[in-house]
Amino acid sequence: MSRRSRARRQSRQRLPLFAFFALLVLGAGAWWWSQRDEAPAAPVAASERAPDPKHTSAVLALPPVEQTRPGVLAGEVPDVAPTAAPAAQRSTDALPAFLPAEARATLDLIQRGGPFPHRQDGSVFQNREGRLPRQTRGYYHEYTVDTPGLDHRGARRIVTGGKPPREYYYTDDHYESFRRFEIGRGDAP
């Protein structure tokens, strides 16, 4: 067999291997692209962070914001111990003051199971940074809280834990910090 024939034969044997690796790289890139978040972190105006005095929470005893930031106890989210409240007050009217008004609409969609305005809503939140308590994959799901004036998803999210949701977390800084909250057990939002 001539040298040229051997070279052709070896190159034909390498071609399927090269094609396989090229497809593998393309597939990994497509998967990565589908997992990324499209929205850049949007600054939140000071007026949006100010609690609305009409929506004070008689149901929740909330921890200070400093305790919800990652730090020495990264990965642990402080529990919010509900105080005893009459059943009449245990509705979503008693949502925490730190939640923006748009969160009510998002919670309503979560309770109804959709339809959601963003394709990522309801997708699995992977907790890559470990800022929420460790759970099995698929336990947490994320939902967009609309930010008025933006033409993209913005930075505000509600992350739920469990199916149906048993835990609720809010972030206004695109997963840098979370605040745990509870919704009323009686009425749906």
User: Which class would CATH give 46-181?
Assistant: alpha beta
Which residue in 48, 102, 118, 174 is the catalytic one? Answer: 174
Omega within 30 of 0 (cis) for the link into 164: yes
Residue 167 designated active-site: no
Whether the per-residue pLDDT at 81 is higher than 80: the answer is: no
Which residue in 48, 102, 142, 152 is the catalytic one? Answer: 142
* 3 state SS of 160: strand
Rounded-to-5 percentages of helix, strand, coil across the chain:
30, 10, 55
CA dist 44 and 168 (Å) reads 21
The pTM of the full predicted model, rounded to 2 decimals, is: 0.51
Residue 142 designated active-site: yes
Interior angle at CA 102, CA 37 and CA 111, nearest 5: 85
Whether the per-residue pLDDT at 19 is higher than 90: the answer is: no
Cβ atoms within 10 Å, residue 189: 18
* 3 state SS of 108: helix
Q: What is the pLDDT of residues 37-63, one digit of tens each?
A: 554 444 544 444 445 544 444 444 555
Delimit the domains of the chain by residue range: 1-36, 46-181
Whether the per-residue pLDDT at 89 is higher than 50: the answer is: no
Q: What is the pLDDT of residues 99-116, one digit of tens each?
A: 988 989 999 999 998 899
